[in-house]
Amino acid sequence: MKYKEIVSAIDALFWKADVAEDGSFTNTYLSPFADQFYGVDEGTIGCDWDIFFSYVHPDDLSYVFQKIDETIKKRFALISYEYRVIRPDGNQLWVYEKAISNVNSEGTVQIFGTTVDITELKNINDALIVEKDRAQKYFDVAKVIMLVLNTNRDVVHINKKGCEVLGYEEEDIVGKNWCENFLPEEFCEKVEKQIEYLISNSNKKIEYHEYPILNSAGEERWIAWNVSVLYSKNGDIEVFLCSGQDITERKSLENNLLNAKITSELANRFKSEFLTNMTHELRTPLNSIICFSDVLYNEAYGELNEKQRIYTENIHKSGQNLLKIINNILDLSAIEARATELNCENFLLSDILKEIRRNAIPLATQKNISIDIDTDETILMDADKNKINQIINNLVSNAIKFNSNGGSILIKARNIDNEINISVKDTGIGVPEEEVEKLFDPFYQIDGSSSRNYGGNGVGLALVKHFVGMHNGDVWIESQE
């Protein structure tokens, strides 16, 4: 009695039967739970196996008989199987059944079994399969490599993009050691150290690094990786989740740019050395020409007629202009070679401005250009006097060069909050807005043709910008056409 009470209290169906020689069931037993299991009134099923089997899904009935027959033939072997049943109310259940057979002392074959409702588990499992399929689709639709490694660095999952980049089928990748099979040998140790670093720094969520992989053709493909560690509820490492972007083309471009940069720097160095050597070679004879033309112009060796004086003066002026150009080129070469330094000293700005105006007056007078100074006589500067002189002198020279006849130039200086603001304003031609920033590039000229209206070599403003920058200053152009 106690046995039956225990069986009745369990939410599972217990059954037993003797198997006759013709295969029919005799002396059968179905636990009382059978009626509740199938949702029928108590006593409906009793021990009637025909009623019991009538609830089995028609598509599964032959399968159930096959498994029962297998159980009978395989004595003492526990056989398990799943199938569907349809209750009278139309609801479908999934059931899980275990059965075993033996022979009693009288030689009768007996079969015993349990049946439990697994519908809820089946639904959960189906939902998990759907979610897994959906996750796999998300995994595969990604345009980057998605890779999952276990703690042994074996591949657990890889998406279609990963298979595409590697050139293998998924089954040829999953289960294999990532480092041993898909990395160049010289990078294995480095990658292992990066993973160990990520493990030891548990507060670091994602680790970024770049390393190549080997595809099926033996070619290296550079990948930019983001790697994170996924932990279990117990805090144990479960897997490493990796996403990778193929940057092979970018790497190739970077290498090309680096090589181009090295080549360009080398060419610039050779150019600077050439200019330095050439300008020194030119300056030596040019100084002689300037000195001797000055001696002739001052009639140290006899009087000159008017035409000789004009020719001698032209030689002297042209020599000085050429020397100025050569000096600018030398300064630019020194800048590119990073050989320029500041020699700071204290001086009154007004003294330099007056000297620059005095030296510029003869050239300005030829175009009837006035030069005025508006400055505080007490402005004291701590700077490289020669470079400040060269900065302002270049700006004034440009103002004269590009000014119109009868124009004017104003040199203005103010000390505003311990910052010295110097401006050179002229009434000459304007500069197109799109050309303004380019004017500070070495050798750049708005009109670069050989027939241009204005002389110069495009070096002056490049020197101005660099010298101002050396003093932690800024220079700009405001212009209207």
Q: What pLDDT digit, counting tens, does each position of 75-100 carry?
A: 889 999 999 999 998 899 999 999 99
pLDDT of residue 449: 41
* Across 384-393, average pLDDT: 91
pLDDT above 70 for 455 = no
pLDDT at residue number 3: 47
Q: Is residue 2 scored above 50 in pLDDT?
A: no
Give per-residue pLDDT as tens, 133-158: 776 776 676 778 888 899 889 998 88
- In this prediction, residue 451 has a pLDDT band, given cuts at 50, 70 and 90, of very low
Write out the chain in H/E/C secondary structure.
CHHHHHHHHCCCEEEEEEECCCCCEEEEEECCHHHHHHCCCCCCCCCCHHHHHHCECCCCHHHHHHHHHHHHHCCCCCEEEEEEEECCCCCEEEEEEEEEEEECCCCCEEEEEEEEECHHHHHHHHHHHHHHHHHHHHHHHCCCEEEEECCCCEEEEECHHHHHHHCCCHHHCCCCEHHHHHCCHHHHHHHHHHHHHHHHCCCCCCEEEEEEEECCCCCEEEEEEEEEEEECCCCCEEEEEEEEEECHHHHHHHHHHHHHHHHHHHHHHHHHHHHHHHHHHHHHHHHHHHHHHHHHHCCCCCCCCHHHHHHHHHHHHHHHHHHHHHHHHHHHHHHHCCCCCCCEEEEEHHHHHHHHHHHHHHHHHCCCCEEEEEECCCCEEEEEHHHHHHHHHHHHHHHHHCCCCCCEEEEEEEEECCEEEEEEEECCCCCCHHHCHHHHCCCCCCCCCCCCCCCCCCCHHHHHHHHHHHCCCCCCCCCCC
- Flag whether pLDDT at 228 surpasses 70: yes
